[in-house]
Amino acid sequence: MTLSYVLRGVAGCRSGSSPVNMSNLEAGKLWGGRFVGDTDPVMEKFNASISYDQRMWDADIRGSKAYVKALQKAKLVTEEEMRQISHGLTQISEEWAKGVFVVKPGDEDIHTANERRLKELIGTAAGKLHTGRSRNDQVVTDMQLWLRDAISTLTGLSLQLISTMVERAAAEVDVLFPGYTHMQRAQPIRWSHWIMSHAVALSRDVERLQEVKKRVNVLPLGSGAIAGTPFDIDRDLLRNELGFADISLNSMDATGQRDSVVEFLFWASLCLTHLSKMAEDLLLYSTKEFSFVALSDAYSTGSSLMPQKKNADSLELIRSKAGRVFGRCAGFMVTMKGLPSTYNKDLQEDKEAMFDCYDTVHDVLQVATGVMSTLKINPSVMEAALSPDMLATDLAYYLVRKGVPFREAHGLSGKAVFSAESKSVPLNQLSLEDLSAVSPVFGSDVSSVWDYRSSVEQYSAPGGTAKSSVVAQVDQLREWLKKHSV
């Protein structure tokens, strides 16, 4: 007995012996008329998306309320039928809002569930709601509506985090600490300069998200399954009712593209890249080896074995969530790249990726804001970590100001560093005689180089770490926040 024969037998047992079984149609499926026999229960579960796409219940109802108005204008439903459908949709919306909507077996997705309930409430008029509409354009419309609202929420949370960081930078502008490149001490900087570096990156994320929103804000409804609609559906009416800025240009593209989802997933990936970098810095700064900062207990956890431990789990999880979002983005793009034109069921994978990334970024932004608003710094420890070797560049600049070409000055400063290391003394402990042996240009005024505050103050050009420059950055981002407030 062959495997294919066995499988056919199993399928035959599941489908029943009746030559014509209209159970799919009777169960209220939106596609049941062409099929006979029951769907395999395993396939029912495999095919269904109601467990997660019910999150779009509000968007689905809003889209249907707008669509029934277009149907009435096209004389495809009467005014009374439009009133019945609209009223029924309002009742369904209230059930969802109150948490009393009952999802039933056979509710394959949010569209099926809402239409099934509408029929229960108002009867046969509900069957006219889907006239000229496909789930292909319905689902992408729901997603655009949902994502547009989600973007507004994430924009607000991002702005709150940026504001928290900007105000912290303003308050702690006089604190100095080591700046690092390649994980090695580089130059003295202001703590606020570090804060602002991450705030600026997040401001780009907000601007990028607003660009995504522009492309989300295009109406696909009225595209049908692939070819458009044969009825006189006023798409401008739909656009106005749903608050979209524009109408999709091509029905095949409108129903099959998921650019806005992919862009959102990429945006989430880049935003969490920035937050992961900030978290990694703070994780290092919070260790006993650094002790630059201390996290609030509200954003820390302990060890089940070692009583002394205070773990920065909030930061570790922020760092890890970036990988989660990267996976969602890469996974969905791989799904997309192998698809032929227009709608394919593979696209059902879009929603879980979109929802999960939204939930993840939503939580990360709130936790990051909590961390940054409650963090305590140790200014004395930060400044004590500054070391004279971090002023080697300043030593080169000293020579430049006396007319030595920079490339030569760089080499001479390096020789001074080598001399200090050979003598096992800090760079600022080299005598004038030691420095003069490196270059006769060094004079007694070289002692002015060994001042950390003077060092940072020389970087006063826009974008630098001098106090005037950092204050200007703070002021500029404050103005930016006013313009982008939601």
Instruction: Tell me the pLDDT tens digit for each residue of 417-460.
Output: 999 999 999 999 999 999 999 999 999 999 999 999 999 999 99
Residue 16 has pLDDT above 50, yes or no: no
- Tens of pLDDT along 193-223? 999 999 999 999 999 999 999 999 999 999 9
Averaged pLDDT, 129-144: 97
Q: Catalytic residue, from 182, 304, 380, 424: name it.
A: 182
Q: H-type helices in 338-378, by residue range?
A: 349-374
Determine the Cα–Cα distance for residues 258 and 473; give it in Å rounded to an integer.
Answer: 37
The pLDDT assigned to 34 comes to 60
The pLDDT assigned to 293 comes to 97
Q: How confident is the model at residue 39 (pLDDT cuts 50, 70, 90)?
A: confident
Q: How confident is the model at residue 1 (pLDDT cuts 50, 70, 90)?
A: very low
Query: 178: part of which helix (H) or strand (E)?
Result: strand 176-181
Residue 374 has pLDDT above 70, yes or no: yes
Share of the chain above pLDDT 70, in %: 92
The pLDDT assigned to 12 comes to 39
Determine the Cα–Cα distance for residues 263 and 255; give it in Å rounded to an integer.
Answer: 17
The pLDDT assigned to 308 comes to 82
The pLDDT assigned to 258 comes to 97
The pLDDT assigned to 32 comes to 57
pTM of structure: 0.90
* CA 331-336-341 angle, 5° bins: 170
The pLDDT assigned to 21 comes to 42
Q: How confident is the model at residue 337 (pLDDT cuts 50, 70, 90)?
A: very high
Q: Catalytic residue, from 303, 447, 448, 485: name it.
A: 303
Kindly write down the DSSP assignment for every residue of 449-469, as one continuous string: GS-HHHHHHT--STTSSSHHH
State yes or no: is 87 an active-site residue.
no
Burial (CB < 10 A; 0-12, 13-18, 19+), residue 285, is buried
Q: How confident is the model at residue 28 (pLDDT cuts 50, 70, 90)?
A: low
**Higher local confidence (pLDDT), 485 or 470:** 470
Which of 83, 92, 96, 94 lies closest to 125, judged by CA? 83
Q: How confident is the model at residue 3 (pLDDT cuts 50, 70, 90)?
A: very low
**Higher local confidence (pLDDT), 363 or 6:** 363
Which of 485, 477, 456 lies closest to 188, judged by CA? 456
Average pLDDT, the chain: 92
298 contact partners, CB below 8 Å, separation of at least 6: 370, 374
Which of 419, 179, 421, 461 lies closest to 292, judged by CA? 179
**Higher local confidence (pLDDT), 371 or 299:** 371
State yes or no: is 387 an active-site residue.
no
Residue 35 has pLDDT above 90, yes or no: no
- Tens of pLDDT along 248-289? 999 999 999 999 999 999 999 999 999 999 999 999 999 999
Beta strand 218-219 pairing with 376-377: unpaired
Residue 4 has pLDDT above 60, yes or no: no
Residue 38 has pLDDT above 90, yes or no: no
